């Protein structure tokens, strides 16, 4: 049906999106979206089996070079398994044809008490589109306008859901994953458990950066 793809014409699942005003919801239409049930429970389990070994038994850390983040582990992971490769194929339509996602995923493992503080992804290392699959725990992703902080959008990220940020939603708004004590979607409490996200990004236009980002 129209609006059900992942391209610029796509529309978010209305039940999974709240906005500070109808005008803002309209302005970010097609630019911030969320799709519930993007992967099945079976696919989610398979994806976790493929990416969890890459997270190792490393300690969870705090803080990061470009975003305030606590209680997390992460890795950049090539997608060699069948489920990972199928997922990459299915998120590719969210990206402009000439700016496809990098063939690896950023795997971010957040403890129940972890958060990703408000930030804009580095324009040096990330291109125009961000697509994130959420696994294990629900959470709330909040966008807030850099120019008018009273303008916000919240996406309810259920396990198996996919969100896409692009255009104004990617460049003109911060995004954050709310910490457990603030994890509400309107009146709905969204208790946080351990959450694993697989995040897809493309390269910025122009030159590719000479050095990859360094941890901490």
Q: Which residues would be at the binding site for ligand OGA (CB under 6 A)?
A: 67, 108, 116, 121, 132, 175, 177, 197, 199
Residue with smaller CB distance to ligand OGA, 21 or 32: 32
Task: Select the residue whose beta carbon is closest to ligand OGA and give its number.
Answer: 197
Euclidean distance between the first and the last CA atom of the chain, given in angstroms as a whole number:
44
Answer for which of 46, 109, 121, 180 binds Mn ion (CB under 5 A) is 121
Residue with smaller CB distance to ligand OGA, 72 or 83: 72
Write out the binding residues for Mn ion, residues 165-194 only, by CB under 5 A: none
Query: For residue 108, what are the β-bridge partners?
Result: 74, 197
At a CB cut-off of 8 Å and minimum separation 6, what does 35 contact? Answer: 6, 12, 13, 161, 162, 163
CB atoms closer than 10 angstroms to residue 159: 19
User: Smallest distance, Å, CB 11 to ligand OGA?
Assistant: 20
Residue 151, binding choice from Mn ion, ligand OGA, none, Cβ under 5 to 8 Å by partner class: none
| Under rule CB under 5 A, residue 74 binds Mn ion | no
Q: Is 77 helix (H, G, I), strand (E, B) or coil?
A: strand
User: Smallest distance, Å, CB 121 to Mn ion?
Assistant: 4
Answer whether 169's CB lies under 8 Å from 31's CB: yes
């Amino acid at each position: 049906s129209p609006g059900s793809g992942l391209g610029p014409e796509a529309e978010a699942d209305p039940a999974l999106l709240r906005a500070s005003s109808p005008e803002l919801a309209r302005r970010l239409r097609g630019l911030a979206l969320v799709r519930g049930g993007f992967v099945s429970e079976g696919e989610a389990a398979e994806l976790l089996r493929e990416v969890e070994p890459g997270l190792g038994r490393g300690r969870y850390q705090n803080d990061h070079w470009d975003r305030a983040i606590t209680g997390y582990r992460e890795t950049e992971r090539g997608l060699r398994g069948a489920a990972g490769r199928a997922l990459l194929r299915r998120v590719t339509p969210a990206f402009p044809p000439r700016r496809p996602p990098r063939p690896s995923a950023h795997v971010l493992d957040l403890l129940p008490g972890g958060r990703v503080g408000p930030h804009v992804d580095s324009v040096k290392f990330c291109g125009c589109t961000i697509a994130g699959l959420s696994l294990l725990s629900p959470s709330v992703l909040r966008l807030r306008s850099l120019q008018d902080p009273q303008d916000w959008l919240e996406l309810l990220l259920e396990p198996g859901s996919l969100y896409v940020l692009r255009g104004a939603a990617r460049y003109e708004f911060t995004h954050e994953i709310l910490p457990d004590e603030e994890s509400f979607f309107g009146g709905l409490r969204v208790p946080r458990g351990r959450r694993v996200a697989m995040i897809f990004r493309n390269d910025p236009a122009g030159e590719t950066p000479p050095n990859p980002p360094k941890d901490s």
